[in-house]
Structure 1
Amino acid sequence: METGLSFSAADLAQTRFAVSPMWEVVTSFRLLRSAADAPPHGRWTAQVRPRLVRAGLDRGWLAELVPARGYLADFLNPTPATPFPSLDDELSAIRRTTPAQVRRDLELFAAPVSPRLRVLLEAPEAALEKITTEIEAYWELALAPYWARLRALLEADVFHRARQVAEHGSARVLGELHETVRWDDGTLRLIRRHCTLTRGETGSGLLLVPSAFAWPRVLTRSVPPDPPQLAYPARGIGNLWEPRATASTDAVAAVLGRSRTMLLTELDTPASTTQLAANVGLSAAGVSQHLTALRDAGLVSAHRSGRSVLYARTAVADALLAPEGPGR
């Protein structure tokens, strides 16, 4: 099946990119619900899926609204107002979802409405508050510890394609988004799509959203009067979870101390105090003291995951440990 989205000069002028935390929420949650691990994300799913189950988030609101396959509730992906909205920005937009939009979305689910979704239908304001609270919990255990790495990937894709637009024009960039997307004489054609995307059903322009977890397909959102959204796999996903190379740590250790530098190196993958203590051979109390100092310095971040806390390197720490290169 093939559908086409026609473009006027005004539509091309209003085509833009955005990095959306909520697109990463819904696509990553769908991946975790699937039986198989997608090869690019195997390391991530192995770490996160047990946390999801322990927290009971595999049986909550998101499990109802983001099935393993098929339709995703459109109100979970509001149109970003800026190129780089925060999660809080998008959660605020979700809380403002109208009852009419909730009804429209629930009508598109193939299965009968469950008791939980019936609550959403009958008392949307209260239910939306519960949904956004659950999304915040999911974000903390599944995405926040990895967000510096994910955001770098997504921003790099946007900057690359923006440069391609400047050098070669929008038509070429639109034709290179994905193997199932092609530009043909003023129309963006989506091949092998199960849902339609035509200009008569959407607002003007187009919002292009790079995603780490949409791989290997593209996903669309079409909710008038908003512009259509197209989430596509970002460039470089194959290397996303590979261990990051670090420079010689001697110079960093001379400033931070060897124990703290060793902890930063270990935090290439988010970990708890207990895990770090076992990995580096320090006491849990000693690791905790070092992590507090590193957090105060902006080199690590802490994220609640059930009863434990996961620590992750920040972008500042990544830059500190990065190998020397032409760009530094």
Structure 2
Amino acid sequence: MPDFLTPEPPRVARTFAEELAAALDDPGAPVVADTVAFGAVLRTRVRVVDDLVAHPDRGRRTLATSFAALHRALLAEDWPRLHAQLAADVAHRARLAARHGVETMLATLNPDLVRWHHPFLEYAGPPEPDYPLHGRGLVLVPSMFLTDGVHRQLNDRQQPMLFYPARTAGAFWRNPGDPGGRLADPIGARRAAVLRTIATRPGCGTGDLAAALGVAPSTASAQVAHLRRAGLVVTVREARRARHEPSPLGWQLLETFIA
């Protein structure tokens, strides 16, 4: 995709509409330049590419409508499950780096395509010039839509990013509706929904959690209490506010099951 369609991931959870707006509503996004560069690597001409170049504002509106329709028809029902697995993947990589070092963590991203040879992170793809980070760092972005490859996004205006397959991506799409693999089996549908929501919003408050689930705050608080007693959620109190996040056991449960 053109680079402007994949902005840097946010630090806080967004709704689908907010994510769509972040990609398509930025007036400073170089829509034409990114689209021209994207079109140069396509083997066949695509109408939407020509439309974006000739009429970038109209093209963005068309993309917004198309993405919303695609999400509504195919992905909306599974969106919370997809987010929970991405959050679990991030937590797994963070624990791996903390326990065994960054080099070990990088070695597990995609061993066939990505290799760490100090001081370079090497990509086994088409030859390209080295890309120095100049201290900007590299954002690692798990994807549920990549299952057998990686994607680099390297330009001079955005944070450098490497998209890689989330650990559960392949299994999820092989058995997307398999009830035997769902987190609801071991802990129940309501508590599974609470744990998934907390995973996508680590550090959320009880009110935020209740709003996301569409339940009363007292109901959300009771469900969190059950998960906390089971050792699946940790609650930290700051002044008069309680913040919730999955415990290490909770993250392991999310990783084990296709939540």
Amino acid of the structure 2 residue aligned with 1:127? G
Quote the Cα distance in structure 1 between the aligned partners of 2:168 and 2:21. Answer: 28
2:72 is matched by which residue type in structure 1? E
Could you list the per-position Cα deviations for residues 70-96 of structure 1 after superposition, in whole angstroms to 9, with x for gaps in the alignment?
xx3333212234364443234333333
Q: Please report how far the alpha carbon of residue 161 of structure 1 lies from its aligned counterpart in structure 2 after TM superposition.
A: 1.0
Alpha-carbon distance, 1:208 to partner: 0.7
Number of positions where the alignment pairs a residue of Structure 1 with one of Structure 2: 197
Deviation (angstroms), 1:153: 0.7
Q: Conserved in 1, the CA contact under 8 Å of 2:146 and 2:169? A: no
Can you give the 5+ residue segments of structure 2 that lack an aligned partner in the other structure? 191-211, 234-259
Residue in structure 2 matched with residue 119 of structure 1 by the alignment:
51
The reply to whether residue 94 of structure 1 matches residue 24 of structure 2 is yes
Alignment of 1:225-244 (within 5 A): 225-240=157-172, 241=176, 242-243=178-179, 244=182
Q: Distance in 1 between matches of 2:23 and 2:135?
A: 18
Counterpart Cα distance in 2 of 1:183 and 1:204: 18
| Superposition TM-score, scaled by structure 2 size | 0.61
Distance change in 2, residues 1:203/1:124 (3 Å) = farther
Answering whether residue 83 of structure 2 is matched by residue 151 of structure 1, we say yes
The TM-score normalised by the length of structure 1 is: 0.50
Q: Give me the identity figure in percent.
A: 28
- Structure 1 equivalent of residue 232 of structure 2: 327
The answer to whether the aligner puts 1:78 opposite 2:7 as a matched pair is: yes
Q: Is residue 143–residue 163 contact of structure 2 (8 Å, CA) maintained in 1?
A: yes
Q: Hey, what's the Cα distance between the residues in 2 that align with 1:325 and 1:195?
A: 51
Give CA deviations for 1:102-134 in whole Å, capped at 9, x if unaligned. 33333332324x444322211101111111121
Q: Quick one: which of 65, 69, 94 aligns to 1:162? A: 94
Segments of 5+ residues of structure 1 without an aligned counterpart are 1-71, 253-260, 262-295, 300-314
The two structures, once aligned, show a CA RMSD in angstroms of 3.8
Q: Report the Cα offset of residue 158 of structure 1.
A: 0.4
| Aligned position for 1:217 | 149
Distance 1:119 1:203, change over 3 A: farther
| Higher RCO (CA-CA < 8 Å; seq separation 6+) | 1
Whole-angstrom distance in 1 between the partners of 2:132 and 2:231: 49
**Deviant stretches of 4+, over 6 Å:** none
Contact 2:35/2:53, CA 8 A, preserved across alignment: yes
